[in-house]
A = this chain, B = another copy of it.
Amino acid sequence: MPPRIVEIRKNVLKKNDLLARELRTRFERAGVLVVNLVSSPGAGKTSLLEGTLRALLERAEAAAVLVGDLETDNDARRLGATGAPVRQIETHGICHLDARMVADRLAGWDLGTLDYLFIENVGNLVCPAAYDLGEEVRVALLSVTEGEDKPVKYPVLFHSADLALVTKIDLAAACEFSRRAAYGNLRSVCPATRIIETSAKRADGLADWLDFLVARRAGRKGNVCV
Contacts and interface: CB of A to CB of B under 8 A. Distances in A.
A138 interface: no
Interface residues of A, number: 38
A108 B143 CA distance: 39
A40 B143 CA distance: 12
A40 B42 CA distance: 9
**A interface, by DSSP: helix, strand, loop or mixed?**
loop
Given A74-B153, A155-B71, A168-B145, A95 B127 contact: yes
A94 interface: yes
Contacts of A71: 152-155
Contacts of A174: 171, 174
A123 interface: yes
A155 B92 CA distance: 10
Contact of A125 (B94, B124, B150, B175): B124
A4 B147 CA distance: 39
Contacts of A171: 145, 171, 174-175
Nearest to A15: B2
In order of increasing CB-CB distance, the 7 nearest A-B pairs are A42-B146, A145-B145, A95-B126, A42-B147, A40-B41, A40-B40, A174-B174
Interface of A: 1-2, 4-5, 8, 12, 40-42, 69-72, 74, 93-95, 122-127, 143, 145-147, 149-150, 152-156, 168, 171, 174-175
22 contacts: A4-B8, A5-B12, A8-B8, A40-B40, A40-B42, A41-B153, A41-B154, A42-B150, A70-B126, A70-B153, A72-B149, A72-B152, A74-B149, A74-B152, A93-B126, A93-B156, A95-B95, A123-B153, A126-B127, A143-B145, A145-B168, A171-B171
